[in-house]
Amino acid sequence: MSSGIVFHLLAAAAYAILAGSLWKPLWSNRANHEGGAVSAGKVRRVCLAGAIALHGAGLAQTILPGSHGIYLGWALALSAAIWLGMVVFWLESFVMRIDGLLLILLPASAVATLLAGLFPGGHQVAQAGEWLRLHLLIALTAYGLITVAALQAILMAALDRQLHRPVEPEASRSIMGRALDSMPPLLVQEVLLFRLIWFGFAILTLTVITGAIVSIRLTTNLVPMDHKTLFTLLSWFTFGGLLLGRYTRGWRGRIALRWTLVGFAFLLLSYSGSRFVIDVILQRG
């Protein structure tokens, strides 16, 4: 068993234990929060930092097996996306009260790391050139950040629907209803969403730039005319348009959620989506 698998399994166990400690009071309908918002507490924060470190070590050991190669797999891509989300959460938690998001992030992290540990298969790009290796790592980072932003948008849409439902008595409220009530306010989550989009857009811009450099080195073409380039650029323009609309017209709420999901859909249809499924998940070369 490789060290990467061991690190992933240890991280999965840590995430699962932390998730159980936060969900247990909701199942028993007892208060484990301050003012209606879930509070992680200092001990859980320290444990969470350790789990994120284990998770990152597992990714580093698996994705970067050598000095020049890079190893990719569908479970590793999912694990990397979730890890980036946890890193962003950890940094943002120092300036925003968003501990309620752990109710979703911790179970998702446990599942993602468990899958990466149980299904480590993929393919290795052996002896990848410096620019190709850099491009693949940046593209994976952009894919991960925008995936987390899309999941954040879906969560915000669910919270928006929850707010428009009739108020139910606490005793008859479902476990998911109590969990959604424990989430940070929508305005706080909107700030987090746009920070994710800004970071994702910046990394996606680097993906386009490094992709052009790789294309010139391999084919002498600056912009290859294929579907992956088309959909990547459509995603880039979508997120750029969203950020411009946010700055000039103050776009927010459902408009921002729709643009985020459209941009993510374009990215799924690009190289990091359709070709990733064909090459990595289905392993059709």
Confidence of residue 277 (pLDDT cuts 50, 70, 90): very low
- Whether residue 145 contacts residue 90, with contact meaning beta carbons closer than 8 Å, is answered with no
Beta strands in the chain (DSSP E): 33-34, 37-38, 70-72, 123-125
- Whether residue 13 contacts residue 114, with contact meaning beta carbons closer than 8 Å, is answered with no
Phi-psi region of 128 (alpha: psi -120 to 50; beta: other; left: phi over 0): beta
Compare 119 and 169 and report the one with higher pLDDT. Answer: 119
Rg for the chain, CA atoms, rounded: 20
The number of residues making up the chain comes to: 285
- The C-alpha atoms of residue 283 and residue 279 are separated, in whole angstroms, by 5
- Tens digits of residue pLDDT in 54-83: 999 999 888 887 666 677 777 888 899 899
Token pair, residue 86, equals: 């946890």
- Whether residue 251 contacts residue 245, with contact meaning beta carbons closer than 8 Å, is answered with yes
- Tens digits of residue pLDDT in 140-187: 889 889 988 998 898 888 888 877 665 555 544 566 666 777 778 888
pLDDT value of residue 278? 46
- The C-alpha atoms of residue 243 and residue 249 are separated, in whole angstroms, by 10
- Whether residue 79 contacts residue 8, with contact meaning beta carbons closer than 8 Å, is answered with yes
Res. 103: pLDDT tops 60: yes
Res. 22: pLDDT tops 80: yes
Which residues is 272 bridged to in the sheet? none
pLDDT value of residue 130? 76
- The C-alpha atoms of residue 208 and residue 118 are separated, in whole angstroms, by 33
Which residues is 38 bridged to in the sheet? 33
Q: What is this structure's pTM?
A: 0.79
Token pair, residue 152, equals: 């954040």
C-alpha torsion 158→75→239→230, nearest 10: -130
Reduced to 3 states (helix: H, G, I; strand: E, B; else coil), residue 283 is coil
Query: Per mean pLDDT, which range of 91-100, 118-127, 189-198 is the poorest?
Result: 118-127
Residue 238: partners with Cβ closer than 8 Å, 6 or more residues away: 259, 262, 263, 266
Res. 111: pLDDT tops 90: yes
Token pair, residue 244, equals: 């411009």
